[in-house]
A and B are shown apart, each in its own frame.
Chain A
Amino acid sequence: MDILSNLALGFEVALSPMTLFLAVVGCFLGTIIGALPGLGPSNGVAILIPITFTMGLDATAALVLLTSVYYGAMYGGRISSILLNIPGDEPAMMTTLDGYPMARNGRAGDALVISGVASFVGALLATIALALVAPYLARIAYKFGPAEYFALYALAFATLGGMASNNQAKSALASFIGLGIALIGIDNNSGFTRFTGGNLHLADGIDFLVAIVGLFAVSEVFFFIESHGKGSAVGVALGKVTVPWREIWSTRWTMLRSSAVGFVAGVLPGAGASLGSFMTYMMEKSIAGKNGGFGTGVAKGVAAPEAGNNAAAGGALVPMLTLGVPGSGTTAVLLAVLMTLNITPGPTLFADRPEVVWGLIAALLIANFVLLAMNVPMVKVFVRILQVPPAILLPGVTMISFVGIYSLSGSYFDLLLMVGFGVMGYLFRKMDIPTVPVILGILLGYQMENNLRHAMTLSGGEWTYLLSSPISIGLWIAAALGFIAPMFLRRYLRKPQMVTD
């Protein structure tokens, strides 16, 4: 059994005291980040990246810390959904539909426990599925040449863009803007400087971390200035927390079904956790029928979206690790981490750096148990943290962003760029232009151009080479469908506003 020996290797890495410590810290920070409205998995991980690097953590340690934060944030998002009726992060939005009514009925504790267990089931099953599926997909990815990779990147943009906005032109625009930003700086193949306008600061290109922190974290402060921190509505009190065993047992099929659907939604590039929770909630609602009482505060209504979004979070790691193509906003951020650590995700990662992949998977399995412990018996601690007012939280987040970026390069120019990206993030989100494709463009632009140039050089300039293999034709067809299909499905599946992850 290959997988068992791989997992043994993974646990060897993950069970070192330092890695365990980082996993616990990551889970704790992640749950807080998820619970606080205004901070979600993508911007939470984003502001922690620069700090992680300046601490000098090695690749495995940094990945374990940041993915624990990612998983933790997926768990934590439900806390404010249930208690405040404000999703702590976007994927937790569907949890407000039944979680808040449950809390209003005086069952806040039950809602938190059921959703915590559902999160655990979803995340655990998805992590196991990740361990099973990822090596298989990595083996297929060995067959990919430059033409296939170019098509794969196009697929990622098409599906992510197709899902991310209600207007295809806007998603496409965001992708091209990201690609354009990636082109700034010295061209590594020819040595020519491109599009810097003579500015020496730009010769090295724009660091994607600067763009990520600006778009995801700094832009948030502008939203809170606009709303004056209102919307932190009156919360519901949390009484004694007990475990409603029978109710949890009654949702077992809901949890299993939702985990499976959520995982698949996560693996598809671009779908991500928000779609996972949306699909699972809708699915369970129609299975339960009119008498199911969805929307009035039923256990299945909190179990489905939480199992779904946590499973999707695990699923989204599959394409990120095996193909180097992120399936969601947060995995795009994690891809940035890998690239900064000089780790190229993709099939070779499984062969060359097994300790990174399997250490990560083992750490995630451990993190799930830590998170279950934190989110069920210790949930009251996090409820207290929710009371931090935005007037302290948001300036704090901004200052941490500044210090983080400043500590990376020590350059005021990067800070200015970050503020610029913050303003851009605010304007784009106001105009319903998704910011995740911009990030994806900045991250993948270099690879995409390289693969295209490589393919053209191999073929002697013959463009049909891009469509010369069944795999690449299949990918292009999938890309076209992924981009166009949402236009027709939109009538039935209108995405709620502000969902970007």
Chain B
Amino acid sequence: MIRSDRILGVVVVIVALVFITSAYNLPQGNLFDKLGPKAFPIIVAIGMIVSAAGLILRPDPEADWPEMPSLLSIGFATVVLVGYAYSLKPLGFLAPTAIAAAILSYQISPRPIPAVLTGIGLSVGLFVIFKYALGLGLFALPRSLMG
């Protein structure tokens, strides 16, 4: 039976093998650094393989995953956050924050008008706090507009 524990276990084993192969290309230790840079990573990777094997051989009962619609909206939230990360610098603080906060707010409680108000309120409120009370160097708008 395929369980998420097993999937994770296999993924970790693959990552650990990549770790080990990559560590083998590192140089040996010398007199002043007996172990060198490769020994500890290999120990850690072996630890990863052993504990991942534990997951593959004796997985726990399947985790209580949410239904498909919830999974999709969590995936969508991730995409929104990634987009937010990319846009914060080129587009300034206000617009991306308002949009991202409004979407997250709508996803938690699907009422459009409060969500939009939350987005705008958080964006403006946090900007004022960060910029003027805490003195962080934020840009409100795209820098090209600010001249």
A residues at B contact (CB < 8 Å): 51, 54-55, 166-170, 172-173, 175-177, 179-180, 183, 187, 189-190, 192, 194-195, 218, 221-222, 224-226, 228-229, 389-392, 394-396, 398-400, 402-403, 406-407, 410, 412, 415-416, 418-419, 422-423, 426, 430-433, 448-449, 452-453, 456-457, 459-461
Contact = CB atoms under 8 A, between A and B. Distances in A.
B126 A396 contact: yes
Contacts of B29: 453, 456, 461
A412 B58 contact: no
B66 interface: yes
B136 A403 contact: yes
A419 B78 contact: yes
Given A169-B55, A173-B12, 12 more contacts: A176-B47, A190-B26, A194-B23, A221-B108, A225-B70, A225-B107, A392-B122, A399-B123, A399-B126, A431-B60, A433-B8, A449-B40
B134 interface: yes
Interface of B: 4-5, 8, 12, 15-16, 19, 22-23, 26-27, 29, 32-37, 39-41, 44-45, 47-48, 50-52, 54-55, 58, 60, 63-66, 70, 73-74, 77-78, 81-82, 84-86, 88-89, 93, 97, 100-102, 104-111, 114-115, 118-119, 121-123, 126, 130, 134-138
A-B pairs, 10 with minimum CB distance: A169-B54, A415-B85, A391-B109, A173-B51, A172-B51, A395-B101, A395-B104, A176-B47, A449-B40, A456-B34
Contact of A225 (B73, B97, B118): B73
A159 to B, nearest CB: 16
21 contacts: A54-B135, A173-B54, A173-B55, A190-B27, A190-B36, A222-B78, A225-B108, A226-B70, A228-B110, A391-B106, A394-B105, A395-B118, A396-B122, A399-B126, A400-B126, A415-B88, A418-B85, A419-B81, A456-B29, A457-B32, A457-B34
A419 B85 contact: yes
Contacts of A218: 81
B77 A221 contact: yes
A419 B82 contact: yes
B22 A194 contact: yes
A239 to B, nearest CB: 29
Contacts of A402: 81, 84-85, 88, 97
A57 to B, nearest CB: 11
A54 B48 contact: no
Contacts of B119: 395
A176 B48 contact: yes
A400 B84 CA distance: 13
Nearest to B46: A176
